[in-house]
């Protein structure tokens, strides 16, 4: 019995050491995830699911890495394994809820999240990851904040949860609440680089770039190898560049260097490089983006379809339309509807239009608007394409949609092109009189809005539209008369007319000459107006015809 007791006593430190190794290894994996060293974390966690196969946490964190790397199918398989090991694994139900959200399965997400919370007990960690799952889509920040607040009630000293609560409030534009949450996290863990970086992000969105940089430097003082600090610093450089043109060149350059430091501190995984691609896309550095995705395609093209999305975006911006079309077709064909975002349809439409497939391209631009109604400016893009293809009535309808829904992006020139489109779209043979009414309305709007600084062409085209309403010159009504007269008044008030205005003035005097001749039966007045028209444009056919009838082109 004594020998058995000795053996048991001797084995106890080994058992404790094994437990410590497991705990430390899982902790290291979680630190690697926080530092965005996903390949490193994945390798460690795969090992843990083999050596500690009964621990459901190992499966959850491995699955979460897959979520962060945008591999929802792999994540789902691992979370399911975790639940098989422990049917009451709150974390793995939170993971399944995250997968369901990525699959746009709202009912499945709610069911799994509810299960996770019901099994959480006194642990705040399931609340943390349900909140993070909601934050995979920033539009769900309110739902994230609600569940994270419940997690805080369970454990007010969970620093990671407090950081995510701050992030949710930041997205809700509740800056004071966000800062409070970050400060609370730092009270719990003064060496939380994540909380310090999060404060930097908060200052970035307040456009306090100097304070933002100070926070990143503070985070790097805590942990010089904390890659996310450099990534957020790079994003701050980019926002700074957009907000301060004088600093733009220097800050974009600094941002690229900071992002390279981020890559050097992560594991240069495909996922880290894809985040760099995200940055290059936001920076508008399309040549660098196309080069980066070309390299990524060689090493991970078969496993990461997002590479083809960015290949298409960059190639389009670089006017390499065949490469753009090939990349987008591959992405759209294989990604599945659930992974396609409105911007994909936007680029697909633009690529198709640039490649000569206008009808299909326009339909895809409309699809982009349908999926994201904030993209109303695309109506202007559609209208411009239709106008260039001389599909005028359709162009007018598209401009009309834009002028109604485009908000502050709408300019008077958009109303002008709306009017032009309908004007050119009128076909007397088709009898589509309604388009003349729409054209007249567009030009009328411009006239109303430019009362103090008149826009001459609005009067000229409104006159032309109304002249089209005249069915018989011999029974002229004079619909266009006040607009031609106003056009003459506005143009002549500006001084000597240029060549373009001379043409317009000649046209106006010809109309007034015809009105005098056929409506008022005043030959002298008609001759006066035609004479003015001839002085401005001697080649005007109506002028030549009028004076020819009077006894020769000279008018004698």
pLDDT surpassing 80 at residue 371: yes
pLDDT surpassing 50 at residue 461: yes
Task: Give per-residue pLDDT as tens, 133-177.
Answer: 999 999 999 999 999 999 999 999 999 999 999 999 999 999 999
- The more confidently predicted of residues 80 and 552 is 80
In a domain, 121, yes or no: no
Q: What is the pLDDT at residue 551?
A: 66
Q: Quickly state the pLDDT bin for 88 (edges 50, 70, 90).
A: very high
> Does residue 547 share a domain with residue 461?
yes
Q: What is the pLDDT at residue 301?
A: 66
H-assigned helices in 52-173: 56-68, 72-85, 90-102, 106-119, 125-134, 141-154, 159-171
pLDDT surpassing 80 at residue 462: yes
Collapsing DSSP to helix, strand or coil, 413 comes out as: helix
> Does residue 551 share a domain with residue 479?
yes
Query: Domain containing 513 — which CATH number?
Result: 1.25.40
In a domain, 154, yes or no: no
Task: List, in order, residues 6 or more apart from 57 with CB less than 8 Å away.
Answer: 26, 82, 91
Query: Would you list the DSSP string of 414-476?
Result: HHHHHHHHHHHH--TTTT-HHHHHHHHHHHHHHHHHTSSS--HHHHHHHHHHHHHT---GGG-
Provide, rounded to the nearest whole percent, the portion of the chain with pLDDT above 90: 82
422, 453, 484 - which closes a domain:
453
Task: Give per-residue pLDDT as tens, 406-434.
Answer: 999 999 999 999 999 999 999 988 888 99
Q: What is the pLDDT at residue 15?
A: 39
C-beta neighbour count of 363 within 10 angstroms: 15
Per DSSP, 543 falls in state H
What distance, in Å, lies between the first and last C-alpha atoms of the chain?
Answer: 141
Q: Quickly state the pLDDT bin for 302 (edges 50, 70, 90).
A: low
Provide, rounded to the nearest whole percent, the portion of the chain with pLDDT above 70: 94
In a domain, 200, yes or no: no
419, 453, 487 - which closes a domain:
453
> Does residue 513 share a domain with residue 472?
yes
> Does residue 550 share a domain with residue 462?
yes
Average pLDDT over residues 392-399: 96
In a domain, 511, yes or no: yes
C-beta neighbour count of 171 within 10 angstroms: 18
> Does residue 423 share a domain with residue 381?
yes
> Does residue 446 share a domain with residue 419?
yes
Task: Give per-residue pLDDT as tens, 324-337.
Answer: 999 999 999 998 88
Task: Give per-residue pLDDT as tens, 183-214.
Answer: 999 999 999 999 999 999 999 999 999 999 99
In a domain, 391, yes or no: yes
- The more confidently predicted of residues 249 and 19 is 249
434, 453, 472 - which closes a domain:
453
In a domain, 227, yes or no: no
In a domain, 256, yes or no: no
pLDDT surpassing 70 at residue 182: yes
> Does residue 496 share a domain with residue 409?
no
In a domain, 3, yes or no: no
The count of structural domains within the chain is 2
Q: Quickly state the pLDDT bin for 556 (edges 50, 70, 90).
A: very low
Domain range for residue 548? 457-556
């Amino acid at each position: 019995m004594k020998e058995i007791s000795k053996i048991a006593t001797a084995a106890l430190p080994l058992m404790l050491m094994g437990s410590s190794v497991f705990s430390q290894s899982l902790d290291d994996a979680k630190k690697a995830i926080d530092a965005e060293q996903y390949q490193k974390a994945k390798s460690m966690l795969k090992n843990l699911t083999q050596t500690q196969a009964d621990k459901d946490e190992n499966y959850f964190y491995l699955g979460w890495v897959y979520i962060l790397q945008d591999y929802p199918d792999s994540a789902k398989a691992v979370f399911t394994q975790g639940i098989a090991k422990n049917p009451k694994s709150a974390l793995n139900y939170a993971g399944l809820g995250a997968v369901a959200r990525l699959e746009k399965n709202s009912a499945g997400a709610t069911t799994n999240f509810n299960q996770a919370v019901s099994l959480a007990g006194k642990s705040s960690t399931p609340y943390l990851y349900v909140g993070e799952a909601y934050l995979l889509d920033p539009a769900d920040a309110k739902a994230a904040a609600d569940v994270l607040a419940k997690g805080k009630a369970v454990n007010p000293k969970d620093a990671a949860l407090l950081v995510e609560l701050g992030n949710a409030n930041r997205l809700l534009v509740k800056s004071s609440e966000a800062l409070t949450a970050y400060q609370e996290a730092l009270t719990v863990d003064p060496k939380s680089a994540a909380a310090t970086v999060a404060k930097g992000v908060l200052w970035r969105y307040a456009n306090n770039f100097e304070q933002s940089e100070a926070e990143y430097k503070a985070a790097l003082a805590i942990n010089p190898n904390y890659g996310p600090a450099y990534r957020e610093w790079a994003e701050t450089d980019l926002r700074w560049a957009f907000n301060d043109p004088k600093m733009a060149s220097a800050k974009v350059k600094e941002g690229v260097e900071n992002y390279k430091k981020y890559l050097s501190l992560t594991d240069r995984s495909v996922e880290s490089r894809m985040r760099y691609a995200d940055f290059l896309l936001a920076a508008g550095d399309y040549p660098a983006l196309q080069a980066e995705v070309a390299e990524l395609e060689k090493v991970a093209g078969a496993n990461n379809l997002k590479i083809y999305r960015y290949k298409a975006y960059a190639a389009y911006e670089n006017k390499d339309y065949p490469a753009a079309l090939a990349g987008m077709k591959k992405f759209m064909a294989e990604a599945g509807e659930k992974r396609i975002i409105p911007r994909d349809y936007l680029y697909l439409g633009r690529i198709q239009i640039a490649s000569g497939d206008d009808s299909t391209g326009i339909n895809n631009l409309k699809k982009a608007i349908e999926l994201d109604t904030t993209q109303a400016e695309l109506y202007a893009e559609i209208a411009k394409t239709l106008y260039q293809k001389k599909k005028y009535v359709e162009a007018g309808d598209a401009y009309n949609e834009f002028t109604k829904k485009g908000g502050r992006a709408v300019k008077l020139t958009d109303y002008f092109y709306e009017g032009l489109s309908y004007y050119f779209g009128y076909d007397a043979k088709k009898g589509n009189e309604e388009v003349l009414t729409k054209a007249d309305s567009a030009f009328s709007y411009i006239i109303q809005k430019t009362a103090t600084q008149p826009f001459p062409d609005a009067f000229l085209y409104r006159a032309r539209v109304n002249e089209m309403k005249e069915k018989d010159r011999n029974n002229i009504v004079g619909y266009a008369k006040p607009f031609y007269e106003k056009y003459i008044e506005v143009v002549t008030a500006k001084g000597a007319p240029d060549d373009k205005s001379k043409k317009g003035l000649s046209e106006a005097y010809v109309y007034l000459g015809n009105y005098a001749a056929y409506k008022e039966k005043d030959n002298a007045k008609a001759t006066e107006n035609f004479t003015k028209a001839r002085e401005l444009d001697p080649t005007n056919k109506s002028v030549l015809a009028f004076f020819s009838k009077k006894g020769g082109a000279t008018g004698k």
